[in-house]
Amino acid sequence: MATLALKQWSTLTMNTLAFTVNFAIWTMFSIIGIQIQQDLALSQSQFGLMVAIPILSGAISRLPLVLLSDYFGGRIISFLQMLFVAAACYALSFATVYWHYLLSGLLVGMAGGSFAIGITYTADWFEKEQNNLTMSVFSLGNLGAALTNIIAPIILLSYGWRMVPQAFGVALFITAILFLLFTFKDSAVEKNRRQIRNAHRSEQLKHFRELKVWRFALYYFFVFGGFVAITLWLPQYFMSEYGLTLQNACLATLVFTLPSTLVRSVGSLLSDSYNPRHVNWSVFWICIVCLFFLSYPPTTMNIHGITKEIQLELSVNVWFFTALIFVMGITMGFGKASIYRLIQDSYPDNMSVVGGFVGVVGGLGGFVLPVIFGLASDLTSIRSSCFMVLYGVLGMCMIWMYYAFKAEAHLERVRDAMKSHFLTQ
């Protein structure tokens, strides 16, 4: 008979593994999409839509999957979700025309819903005091993006791009079987928690009318949606802008994806030690400085001197660019952690619903941003326009955060004044 501790850690391990493989599939188009773009002679806008379409279905499926998990249990829903995605992933290898890839992308994108199931199912097996530790472990599933950048190019160059979805589909099918073998039936505690959430569902949904929830969602739109969008866009950016080979471009992308995932647990610790709002504000400032330089396109400037013309070349070379995205990756990892800590502090009893909604908006950022990147690139013919878009999004986040800080500080002063007034009466 397995002990409770063994069941808990076995469930956490399998949830993390399932999320990792799902996340690898979710970002798979960032690699195979480059070859598909060349085969079909796609524009940047068409490429952006193709790589982003899985992110759309992954984002919008999160909330329904949370609700299904609450009614039927996370174990069975996670198992069925993996079987569905494994079949869709394998079927992708038979696509031939553009609309096939878009439809397959929608189906494969259900892999992104694994986060919502896994985070709820994991939380149900642990006490609230253990949430930070378990969520830090579970979030390592984001390493799936790094695995894609390592494994997919090797398979593509050795056997062709069609072997990538076949191999990934088989890997997810095996993961689903292992998941079923090494997780356990819903405990009485888990069932009770789901029943409580279902009973208070209408009360929980009222939080969606609060501006604070939408503000958190916008922040996550940038830190998570931006993370996914950059992950999808970087391999072809390195190849187009700096002439790197596919393998070198994917390895360079790891400089962004790998640290961002690994430091998330550090971000959780920072948010525990310091005010998560201040952590988030610092993250935004560092990111906007990086984006200023990343946005700057190669420029030739003619200066009319006294006796001669002076020509000045301004550009971000590959080493400086890689250093900037390395810093961006780390700070966005901190940002993902601090935002969920803000949600936990503000809505401790409604973490699953509010966190799920914020996650949906963040996922939608991963869909919307690559599409806008492609449109901006086609319209301006400037590759760095993708970072200009992110600069604008982050600017909106910082303006809203600044005025929210001022409003909260003013409210706090009013409360203190009223408290002081009543105490002196």
Q: How far apart are CA 79 and CA 25, in angstroms?
A: 16
Burial of 15 (0-12, 13-18, 19+ CB in 10 A): buried
Task: Please state the domain count of the chain.
Answer: 1
- The strand pairing partners of 314, in sequence order, are 299
Q: How confident is the model at residue 295 (pLDDT cuts 50, 70, 90)?
A: very high
Q: How far apart are CA 86 and CA 337, in angstroms?
A: 29
Per the structure, the complete domain to which residue 137 belongs is given by: 4-424
**Interacting residues of 114 by C-beta distance below 8 A, sequence separation 6+:** 18, 19, 22, 23, 78, 81, 82, 85, 141
Which range among 172-186, 292-306, 360-374 shows the weakest confidence by mean pLDDT?
292-306
Q: How far apart are CA 185 and CA 181, in angstroms?
A: 11
- The strand pairing partners of 309, in sequence order, are 304
Q: How far apart are CA 334 and CA 223, in angstroms?
A: 9
Q: What would the pLDDT profile of 92-135 be if each residue is shown by its tens digit?
A: 999 999 999 999 999 999 998 888 888 878 877 777 667 667 77
pLDDT for the residue numbered 420: 64
Q: What is the DSSP letter of 183?
A: S
Which range among 66-75, 130-139, 379-388 shows the weakest confidence by mean pLDDT?
130-139
Segment (H or E) for 143: helix 143-159
Task: Tell me the DSSP string of 212-234.
Answer: HHHHHHHHHIIIIIHHHHHHHHH
Q: Tell me if 205 sits within 8 A of 356, measured CB to CB.
A: no
pLDDT over 60 at 404, yes or no: yes
Q: How far apart are CA 261 and CA 264, in angstroms?
A: 6
Closest alpha carbon to 225 in 52, 398, 106: 52
Angle at 343 between CA 342 and CA 345, to 5 degrees: 65
If you average pLDDT over residues 214-230, what whole number do you get?
91
Q: How far apart are CA 369 and CA 390, in angstroms?
A: 8
pLDDT for the residue numbered 186: 64
Burial of 10 (0-12, 13-18, 19+ CB in 10 A): middle
Q: How confident is the model at residue 299 (pLDDT cuts 50, 70, 90)?
A: confident
Side chain identity at residue 25, one-letter code: I
Q: Name the residue with higher pLDDT: 17 or 419.
A: 17
Segment (H or E) for 311: strand 309-314
Q: Tell me if 85 sits within 8 A of 30, measured CB to CB.
A: no
Which range among 178-182, 194-198, 236-240, 273-277 shows the weakest confidence by mean pLDDT?
194-198
The three-state secondary structure class of 304 is strand
- The strand pairing partners of 300, in sequence order, are 313
Q: How confident is the model at residue 85 (pLDDT cuts 50, 70, 90)?
A: very high
Side chain identity at residue 179, one-letter code: F
pLDDT for the residue numbered 324: 96
Q: How far apart are CA 117 and CA 175, in angstroms?
A: 15
Q: What is the DSSP letter of 208?
A: G
Instruction: Tell me the CATH number at 179.
Output: 1.20.1250.20
pLDDT for the residue numbered 273: 72
Q: How far apart are CA 164 and CA 158, in angstroms?
A: 10
If you average pLDDT over residues 87-95, what whole number do you get?
95
CA-CA distances (angstroms) from residue 323 to 40, 80, 318?
33, 41, 9
Tokens 């919502």 label which residue?
A: 116
Q: What would the pLDDT profile of 148-182 be if each residue is shown by its tens digit?
A: 999 999 999 999 999 999 999 999 999 999 999 99
pLDDT for the residue numbered 200: 55
Average pLDDT value over all residues in the chain? 85
Which range among 102-106, 255-259, 320-324, 385-389 shows the weakest confidence by mean pLDDT?
255-259
Q: How far apart are CA 260 and CA 131, in angstroms?
A: 20
Closest alpha carbon to 300 in 310, 309, 311: 311
Burial of 41 (0-12, 13-18, 19+ CB in 10 A): exposed
Q: Tell me if 298 sits within 8 A of 315, measured CB to CB.
A: yes
Q: Name the residue with higher pLDDT: 102 or 349.
A: 102
pLDDT for the residue numbered 137: 81
Whole-prediction pTM: 0.84
